[in-house]
Amino acid sequence: MNNPLQRYTNLKFLVVDDFSDFRQSIKQMVESFGVKHVDTCSEGEEAIRKYAEHQHQVVLVDYNLGDGLSGLQVLEELNYRQLLKPGTLYILITGETAMELVMGALEYRPDDYLAKPFTKNILKTRLDKLVQLQEVFQPVHSALAKGKNITAIELCDSLMQKNKRLSMQCLRLKGDIYLKSGLYPKAINVFKTVIEQHELTWAQMGLARAYSGINQLADVQTICKKIISKNKYALEAYDLLAESDCAMGNFEHAYTLLKTACDLSPNTLIRQRKLGQLALRYLELETALNAFKRVIGLGRYSIKIRPDDFVTLLQTMLQIQFGSYGSLSLRVPKDYASLYREINRKYPNDIQLSLVVNLHQILLKYLSNDKGTALSEMEIQLQKCHSLPDTLKPYLINEITFVGQRLDEPELKQSISNQFLAHQAEQFTQENIDKANNYNRQGMLKFKEKDYLTAKKAFKTALINSPSNVNIALNLLQCLYRLAADKQFKQVEPSLITLCAQSLESIDPGDHRFAHSQNLFNHLKALLATKV
């Protein structure tokens, strides 16, 4: 362990604040503690670039950074981009004390929360505690950074034996490692051990996520409901409960949950996107409009934004414009120009997204009774879509479907159906949640019996019936890995690996299942490479 008098000498600090005087003040404070390397910047994107370059051990970030990412969103982005190294201390600074902000900060787990104004002594006291703990766990974090998860777990066990006061922190780390590795039964054991001693929210959430990983959705629901009943601000529990509701086909309850969660903490892009999607399912267009507007706003400086978000917002605006929404129907068209500019700024070279915008503008003209001109322009754009050398992206297919549903011309509608939508329609008619769940349960039973071939067939049927179900895709991928490990390479069809990849491509890197899916793909690839 470092000499306390030299504790800060070799640490790199990053200070982020949009006010130069305050930024300089914090820099001088930490330099007085002995820090030699202090980087400073004024906005979120620059903070992410500097952190990626220098890998600072301590990051002090003001919540309010003016335009662009907030301090909380910088933390979210670092996690999402998988840049935040194990052991990095992230301290959020703010002068605001609103419940919404505090709860949002807790959601993304900064290591500490400093309210302005604070003195040098207060900062030093907080840092001393955090850095001392960082030193203790440095070997664990070093092992995790190198991908040595087993070593990290062994080090946690050793720390617990040496210092009982560190038991909870060690168990939390172990549980998180097992979750990210897809070792759900081991994660369950760890979190249950904690809960037997203290019913801590983080352990309950870990247990719920582990149950989600093995598709025990009833247990997920029970735990998440219990967490929410005790703490209405437990936002992660809302998200996981809504996720399990969707997997079970209970979309209406998921919609209600996400509305509540977004009211409590509105600045989470992924949650707003899910709310918007569910609002559209129930034709709650005003809710969908507000959700996707917020998605676009939050996504201006985020890599989490998708072309689909812009397409969905355009479609929602059009439906409101030509629906019966009073003054809202009159206001919506005024936002088209700024949205077109944002699309062009964000995706200047996306030909398929440009075609979406063209189709949208022509549909506006058609619905505004300029049908003659619109139809001839529509046919030209559809021909361009048909002539593209690349496979059509889902968002372009989505827009073509949207256009086709709003045309009155039978011949053009039929042409669209024949050229673009036949395969898509077949996919939609196969979506049968009950059937998928039944086959998934059969597959899990056979998997436990180590009858991997029968399990594979059941999981395949389940996934075909519910291609968007991430848990089923993970089950099938796990089964393919087991078959490959048993040298049954002929049973590991490339088409099934592709099917899994397509179903899993929507997982956000922040989702605990992302690392598990990547590990499975990598291990499967390595096994197939040994095939003679």
- Number of residues assigned to the chain: 532
Domain of residue 410, residue span: 255-422
Q: How confident is the model at residue 515 (pLDDT cuts 50, 70, 90)?
A: confident
Domain boundary residue, one of 104, 136, 168: 136
Model pLDDT, residue 431: 44
CA gap 499, 325 in Å, rounded: 41
Residue of 63 and 223 predicted with greater confidence: 223
Q: In this structure, are 19 and 86 located in the same domain?
A: yes
Q: Which of 393, 340, 390 is nearest to 364 (CA)?
A: 340
Average pLDDT over every residue of 6-29: 93
Q: In this structure, are 264 and 351 located in the same domain?
A: yes
Q: In this structure, are 89 and 105 located in the same domain?
A: yes
Specify the number of domains making up the chain.
4
CA gap 24, 15 in Å, rounded: 9
- In a domain, residue 142? The reply is no
Q: In this structure, are 131 and 214 located in the same domain?
A: no
Q: Dihedral angle at the C-alpha atoms of 326, 332, 334, 337, nearest 10 degrees?
A: -160
Q: Is the pLDDT of residue 429 over 60?
A: no
CA gap 367, 385 in Å, rounded: 21
Model pLDDT, residue 105: 56
CA gap 77, 530 in Å, rounded: 37
The mean predicted confidence, pLDDT, of the chain is: 88
Average pLDDT over every residue of 31-59: 94
**478 Cα distance to chain centroid:** 22
Continuous H helices in 181-214: 184-197, 201-213
The encoded tokens of residue 53 equal: 């370059």
Domain boundary residue, one of 136, 162, 180: 136
The SS3 of residue 10 is: coil
Average pLDDT over every residue of 477-482: 92
* pTM of the predicted model as reported, rounded to 2 decimal places: 0.78
Q: In this structure, are 386 and 288 located in the same domain?
A: yes
Which among 62-71, 307-316, 419-428 has the top mean pLDDT? 307-316
Q: Is the pLDDT of residue 346 over 50?
A: yes
The encoded tokens of residue 135 equal: 């030193």
Q: In this structure, are 125 and 151 located in the same domain?
A: no
Model pLDDT, residue 428: 42
CA gap 402, 314 in Å, rounded: 11
**DSSP summary character for residue 5:** G
Model pLDDT, residue 498: 85
- In a domain, residue 522? The reply is yes
Model pLDDT, residue 510: 64
pLDDT digits (tens, 9 = 90+) for 111-144: 888 888 889 999 999 999 999 999 999 999 999 9
Contact present, 299 and 305 (Cβ < 8 Å):
yes
CATH number of the structural domain spanning residue 505: 1.25.40.10
CA gap 501, 258 in Å, rounded: 27
pLDDT digits (tens, 9 = 90+) for 277-310: 999 988 999 999 999 999 999 988 888 899 999 9
218-222, 366-370, 421-425, 467-471, range with the lowest pLDDT: 421-425
Contact present, 106 and 119 (Cβ < 8 Å):
no
Average pLDDT over every residue of 328-348: 95
Q: In this structure, are 406 and 479 located in the same domain?
A: no
Average pLDDT over every residue of 233-250: 90
Q: In this structure, are 125 and 204 located in the same domain?
A: no
Model pLDDT, residue 107: 56
Angle at 487 between CA 485 and CA 491, to 5 degrees: 100
CA gap 406, 411 in Å, rounded: 13
Residue of 367 and 426 predicted with greater confidence: 367
The SS3 of residue 284 is: coil
Q: In this structure, are 75 and 169 located in the same domain?
A: no
85-89, 145-149, 224-228, 293-297, range with the lowest pLDDT: 145-149
Q: Is the pLDDT of residue 426 over 50?
A: no
Percent of the chain with pLDDT over 70: 92
Average pLDDT over every residue of 400-406: 91
Contact present, 38 and 27 (Cβ < 8 Å):
yes
Q: In this structure, are 292 and 371 located in the same domain?
A: yes
Average pLDDT over every residue of 158-178: 93
Q: How confident is the model at residue 438 (pLDDT cuts 50, 70, 90)?
A: confident
Model pLDDT, residue 430: 39
Q: In this structure, are 119 and 175 located in the same domain?
A: no
Three-state SS sequence of 152-176: HHHHHHHHHHHCHHHHHHHHHHHHH
Domain boundary residue, one of 105, 136, 167: 136
